[in-house]
Amino acid sequence: MIYQAPSGARDLLPLDVARKRWIEQRLQQVFHGWGYHRMITPTLEHMKTLTAGGAVQPETVIQVWDADEGLLGLRPELTASIARAAVTRLAAGVMPQRLYYNANVFRRQTSVVGSSQHEFFQAGVELLGGEGLRADAEVLLLLADCLTAVGLPHWHLVLGEAGLTRSLLSFFPADLRQSLRQAIAQMDWLAVAQLPLEPGLRERALSFFDLRGTPAMVLQQVSDWGLDPAQQDALHNLKSLVELLEAHPSITLDLSLLQTFDYYTGIVFEVVSAPDGGQRVLGQGGRYDQLLSLYHPQGEALPGIGFSLNIEDLQQVLLPLGKLPQQTAQSEWLVAAVADPTETDAAIAAAFHHAQILRAATPGAQRVEVELCQRSPADTRRYAQERRIHNIAWVHADGSVQTEGVTSAATC
């Protein structure tokens, strides 16, 4: 028999859970403060739902066959599920819809050999029905508030514009655009250099890799490309967005920031941690104004923008900063029955009754344990010290109670 978690899965022990919940609770407070409401979607979805937007490759989905439903998949992200629900269950609601989630997702890591991780935890938002500069700014400012709430002192925003970058690819032959797009998304300079392009176009293609740096520099460079009115509008919106974010100066504008799929239609972004702690991608997101039309019965489009934060990466960055709990929560009370052999049952009943009285006095605010072993008073006190319990209540069969505080165990 196998007595361990399957490859790619892992157990979260109480301290792991306490740290995870510490992050999630602070993010939830921010989401509530901005007027977002939690949504829970199924862990299992139809494969057609998960792959409709082209954001998810079928081989990365952990698939399940159901005799009645057919081919299902464990959700690898939440946006597709929320998009499906929005057009079928929320379509009649007043827009915009502000939604957030806190859930596990599953992905098969096809490029990694061995027991790579398959289950991840994310928290994020989807702003549906909001478009333009104001909606873009709300989501990015909300993201900044989230990182402040968890106490992350230094982080960096990488900001791009998928629609503008995609339109800049129109300068190139149609049969080479997808290859060029993939090479840019993968930052593959050699692949771009080897494309069969005339020298002038090859030079322009390689210049995509130079469209990364300070916002002022990149905005100036791309404005020299001879933009049409639609491209100029996108560039102006991007400039206005950067100005709205001036309170967060650590911004890189990167017009080579692309995904290899046609998922995003406007701004795209990643937030990364400071390099001194081992640089990690803490979250990502962007605008997807065509995605919801794929799930709508009449194909109607609805603008959307959102982001997801990677809880485990946040946890790894915050842990050395001393922000996260260093131990599990302490119990305030240990209730112990005191009885001679003829009164044992009555004393135990009285102990459980008193424990309930303590819990009811401050519902959910304190932890109360009942002593389950017949220890000596000295051993009971020693147990309470080791468990960091603050007080002991000695309960007799007649319901009388004596209490005492517990001194902390000596530490070296």
One-letter amino acid at 140 equals L
Q: Which residues pair with 116 in a beta bridge?
A: none
Q: Is 101 annotated to bind ligand?
A: no
- What Rg value do the Cα atoms of the chain yield, rounded? 28
**369 token code pair:** 């344990």
Q: Is 79 annotated to bind ligand?
A: yes
Number of C-beta neighbours around residue 86 at 10 A: 24
Sheet holding 401-405, edge to edge: 368-370, 333-338, 391-396, 401-405
Q: Is 300 annotated to bind ligand?
A: no
Q: Is 36 annotated to bind ligand?
A: no
Q: Is 288 annotated to bind ligand?
A: no
**214 token code pair:** 């300070």
Exposure string of 193-232, with b = 16+ CB inside 10 Å and e = fewer, is eebebeeebbeebeebbebbeebeebbebbeeeebeeebe
Q: Is 195 annotated to bind ligand?
A: no
Can you list the positions of beta strands (E) in 174-226? 212-213
Query: What ranges in 208-285 are assigned the alpha helix state H?
Result: 215-223, 229-244
Q: Is 312 annotated to bind ligand?
A: no
**How many whole angstroms from its chain centre is CA 143?**
11
Q: Is 78 annotated to bind ligand?
A: yes
Binding residues for L-histidine: 77-79, 107, 122, 126, 263-264
Binding residues: 77-79, 107, 122, 126, 263-264
